[in-house]
C-alpha cells in the first residue's frame, strides 16, 4: 500500500455494519473493569491477554470472548464499552454504525436486560450528539442456546423496541442452522424489527439460503462461503443482498489461510454487495481502517475498490433515506481526492 492510499483510506468516510460491542472490549478496559467489579481473570496482565488471542477456529475465539464479557456488570460499564468503540470510530472517520450486542451472555450472569440496553443506548445517543456518529442497534441471539431462550430474550426486549432496529443471530454456527430460529425471527418481524444473521462464515452455503428463505434477512453477516454455490451467488447478485464481510476476522479464525486467499474483491467484481467490517476488533487486530489496509496489502485493493465497498455499506445500512444521502455525498466528495 502506498502512503498516499493509506492516508486517503484513513480519511475515507465509513459505515460499519458488523461489529459486536462485546468484541470491542480492549484488554486495558477489561482489566480496569475486572478490578473495579472484583472479577477474576485467568490472565495476569494485558500482554498475557494478547498472547492468548491465537485462534484456529471460531469456537476458540468464542470461548475467550464470552469469558472477557464477564467483566461487564453495571450500566456504566456498558456505557464505557460503547463509548470507547465510538471514540475509535471518530478517530477512523466512521460516520454511521449498526452494532450488535449479545444480551444472553449477560442475562446468564444475572445482569438485567435494562442495565445492558440502557448503558449502550445512552452512549449511542451521546455519540450522535457529540461525535456526529449516527447509529442503529441490533440485538443478537446466541444460536448455541435454545429457541425457547431466544424467545424469552425477545420478550424481555419488547419494552425497548424503540432502542433497537433489528435482531441478529451469532455464536457457534456449525450444528445450529438458521431454521432453529424461524419462529423467533417470525415473531421479531411481527414486532416490526428487521432481521440479519451470521451465515456462511464456517457453516455451509445452504445456511445462507435458509437465512434468506426462512429468516427473511435484510443482510447476511459474513456470507463468504456463498462463493461455493453458483446459484446462491446469482441470487445474491440479482437481489443486491448485502454481505457484511470481516477480512481480519476471517484470517484470524482461519476461514481463509491468509488475506491473499480472501474472496471479497472477487465477489465485489462479480456484483455482490459486499461491505468491509471489523467484527470483534479488540480480538482480531484492528478496527475499520486496519481492515481496509489489510485488503490493500494482501489483495492489492485499489481506491476504486474501496469506494465501491464504502458505497455498498451506505446502500446496505438501515439509516433513513436522508441520512444515506448525506453519507453518500460525503463519500463522493472524498472520492474526488482519490490518489
Ligand atoms: N460473535 C462475535 N463474533 C462472532 C463471529 N465472528 N461469528 C459468530 N459469532 C460471533
Ligand atoms: Zn460477527
Which atom of ligand 1 is found nearest the CA of 201?
Answer: 7
Give the integer Cα–Cα distance in Å for 147 and 151.
Answer: 6
Give the integer Cα–Cα distance in Å for 5 and 21.
Answer: 29
pTM exceeds 0.95: yes
- Interval between CA 77 and ligand 1 midpoint (Å): 21
Which atom of ligand 1 is found nearest the CA of 22?
Answer: 2
The pLDDT, as a whole number, for residue 338 is 86
- Judge whether 198 is annotated as a binding position: yes
Give the integer Cα–Cα distance in Å for 258 and 287.
Answer: 18
Q: Running DSSP on this structure, what letter comes out for residue 255? A: S
User: For the segment 49-77, what is each residue's pLDDT rounded down to a tens digit?
Assistant: 989 999 999 999 999 999 999 999 999 99
User: For the segment 3-50, what is each residue's pLDDT rounded down to a tens digit?
Assistant: 999 999 999 999 999 999 999 999 999 999 999 999 999 898 989 998
- Interval between CA 198 and ligand 2 midpoint (Å): 7
Q: Running DSSP on this structure, what letter comes out for residue 43? A: -
Spell out a b/e string for 148-176, using b for 16 or more CB atoms within 10 Å of the CB, else e.
Answer: ebbeebbebbeebeebbbbbbbbbbbeeb
151 is written with which cell numbers? Answer: 424467545
228 is written with which cell numbers? Answer: 461455493
User: Best substitution site from 173, 220, 280, 281 to test ligand 1's pocket, by max atoms within 8 Å of Cβ?
Assistant: 280
Q: What is the mean pLDDT of each run of 10 residues along the chain (339 residues)?
A: 97 98 97 96 90 93 95 98 98 98 97 98 98 98 98 98 98 96 98 98 97 98 98 98 98 97 98 98 97 97 98 98 98 93
Give the integer Cα–Cα distance in Å for 187 and 302.
Answer: 43
The pLDDT, as a whole number, for residue 75 is 98
- Judge whether 20 is annotated as a binding position: yes
Strands 219-222 and 194-199: parallel
User: For the segment 185-210, what is each residue's pLDDT rounded down to a tens digit?
Assistant: 999 999 999 999 999 999 999 999 99
Q: What is the mean pLDDT of the chain?
A: 97
Tell whether ligand 1 has an atom less than 6 A from the beta carbon of residue 80: no
Q: Map out the domains of the chain with their CATH numbers.
A: 3-335 (3.20.20.140)
Tell whether ligand 1 has an atom less than 6 A from the beta carbon of residue 20: yes
Long-range contacts for 193-197 (Cβ within 8 Å, ≥24 apart)? 193/161, 193/164, 193/165, 193/166, 193/167, 194/165, 194/166, 194/167, 194/218, 194/318, 195/166, 195/167, 195/168, 196/138, 196/166, 196/167, 196/168, 196/169, 196/220, 196/221, 196/244, 197/168, 197/169, 197/221
Q: Please tell me the residue having the least CA distance from ligand 1 atom 8.
A: 171
Give the integer Cα–Cα distance in Å for 218 and 196.
Answer: 6
Give the integer Cα–Cα distance in Å for 313 and 212.
Answer: 19
User: Best substitution site from 58, 197, 203, 251 to test ligand 1's pocket, by max atoms within 8 Å of Cβ?
Assistant: 58
Per the residue annotation, which of 201, 269, 290, 300 is the catalytic one?
A: 201
277 is written with which cell numbers? Answer: 467490517
The H or E element that residue 242 is part of is: strand 242-245
Rg (CA), the chain: 19
Beta-bridged to residue 100, according to DSSP, are 20, 138
The pLDDT, as a whole number, for residue 78 is 98
Amino acid at each position: 500500500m502506498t502512503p498516499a492510499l493509506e492516508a486517503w483510506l484513513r480519511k475515507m468516510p465509513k459505515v460499519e455494519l458488523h461489529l459486536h460491542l462485546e468484541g470491542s472490549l480492549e484488554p486495558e478496559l477489561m482489566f480496569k473493569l475486572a478490578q473495579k467489579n472484583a472479577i477474576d481473570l485467568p490472565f495476569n496482565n494485558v500482554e498475557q491477554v494478547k498472547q492468548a488471542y491465537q485462534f484456529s477456529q471460531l469456537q476458540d475465539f468464542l470461548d475467550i470472548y464470552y469469558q472477557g464479557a464477564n467483566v461487564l456488570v453495571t450500566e456504566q460499564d456498558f456505557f464505557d464499552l460503547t463509548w470507547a468503540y465510538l471514540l475509535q470510530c471518530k478517530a477512523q472517520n466512521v460516520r454511521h454504525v449498526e452494532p450488535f450486542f449479545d444480551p444472553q451472555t449477560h442475562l446468564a450472569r444475572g445482569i438485567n436486560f435494562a442495565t445492558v440496553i440502557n448503558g449502550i443506548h445512552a452512549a449511542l445517543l451521546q455519540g450522535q450528539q457529540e461525535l456526529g456518529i449516527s447509529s442503529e442497534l441490533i440485538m443478537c441471539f446466541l444460536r448455541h442456546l435454545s429457541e425457547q431462550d431466544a424467545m424469552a430474550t425477545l420478550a424481555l426486549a419488547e419494552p425497548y423496541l424503540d432502542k433497537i432496529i433489528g435482531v441478529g443471530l451469532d455464536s457457534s454456527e456449525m450444528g445450529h442452522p438458521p431454521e432453529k430460529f424461524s419462529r423467533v425471527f417470525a415473531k421479531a418481524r411481527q414486532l416490526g424489527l428487521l432481521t440479519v444473521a451470521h451465515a456462511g462464515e464456517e457453516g455451509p452455503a445452504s445456511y445462507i439460503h435458509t437465512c434468506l428463505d426462512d429468516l427473511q434477512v435484510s443482510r447476511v453477516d459474513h456470507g463468504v462461503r456463498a462463493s461455493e454455490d453458483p446459484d446462491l451467488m446469482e441470487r445474491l447478485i440479482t437481489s443486491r443482498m448485502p454481505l457484511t464481510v470481516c477480512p481480519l476476522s476471517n484470517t484470524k479464525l482461519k476461514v481463509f489461510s491468509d488475506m491473499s486467499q480472501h474472496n471479497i474483491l472477487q465477489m465485489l467484481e462479480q456484483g455482490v454487495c459486499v461491505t468491509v467490517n471489523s467484527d470483534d476488533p479488540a480480538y482480531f487486530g484492528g478496527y475499520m481502517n486496519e481492515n481496509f489496509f489489510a485488503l490493500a496489502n494482501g489483495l492489492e485493493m485499489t481506491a476504486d475498490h474501496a469506494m465501491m465497498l464504502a458505497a455498498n455499506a451506505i446502500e446496505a445500512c438501515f439509516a433513513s433515506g436522508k441520512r444515506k444521502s448525506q453519507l453518500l455525498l460525503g463519500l463522493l466528495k472524498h472520492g474526488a481526492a482519490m490518489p
